[in-house]
Homo-oligomer: A and B are copies of this chain.
Amino acid sequence: MTESAVLTSTAPADACSHTGTVARFFRALADPTRLRLLEFILRGERTSADCIEHAGISQPRVSVHLSCLIDCGYVTARRDGKKLHYSVGDPRVTELVVLARALAADNAAALDCCPRIGQD
């Protein structure tokens, strides 16, 4: 994607996605680094530099993770001068994360021991 690229993806709002699509949606949050980034951006608009510092990984890696979060609809980007600013527009994203955190917290012990899912 080039030019004044579509910063915020304007998808046509389908009625209902098939399971594979939803699984892919969840997969975006299945990586600790990406989830950490999302929660960071959730607490306020951030620049790439903010994200790079917060994530503690290389700029190219952060770029990929942010692209992924954008494609999946969690985050939108806005250009201000030379820099891009990332934020979460849809309040349902917060709902989703809060709900998941609550559920995960209620079962943290078993979750951390699940041998079917590797330790991070």
Where the two chains meet, the residues of A that have a C-beta atom closer than 8 Å to any C-beta of B are 9, 11-17, 19-32, 34-36, 39, 64-65, 67-68, 70-73, 90, 92-93, 95-97, 99-114, 116-117, 120
Inter-chain CA distance A110–B48, complex, in Å, is 21
Q: Which of B22, B24, B95, B102 contacts A114 (CB 8 A)?
A: B24
* A12 contacts B109, C-beta separation under 8 Å: yes
* A73 contacts B107, C-beta separation under 8 Å: yes
- How many whole Å from A106's CB to the nearest CB in chain B? 5
Inter-chain CA distance A120–B24, complex, in Å, is 8
Q: Which of B27, B101, B109, B116 contacts A22 (CB 8 A)?
A: B101
* B35 contacts A104, C-beta separation under 8 Å: no
Which residue of chain B has the shortest Cβ distance to A120 in the bound complex?
B20
A9 and B117 contact, Cβ closer than 8 Å, known pairs A23-B31, A35-B19: no
* A13 contacts B73, C-beta separation under 8 Å: no
Inter-chain CA distance A36–B18, complex, in Å, is 10
Which residue of chain B has the shortest Cβ distance to A25 in the bound complex?
B104
- How many whole Å from A58's CB to the nearest CB in chain B? 15
Inter-chain CA distance A112–B100, complex, in Å, is 23
Question: Which residues of the partner chain B approach A105 to less than 8 Å between Cβ atoms?
Answer: 13-17
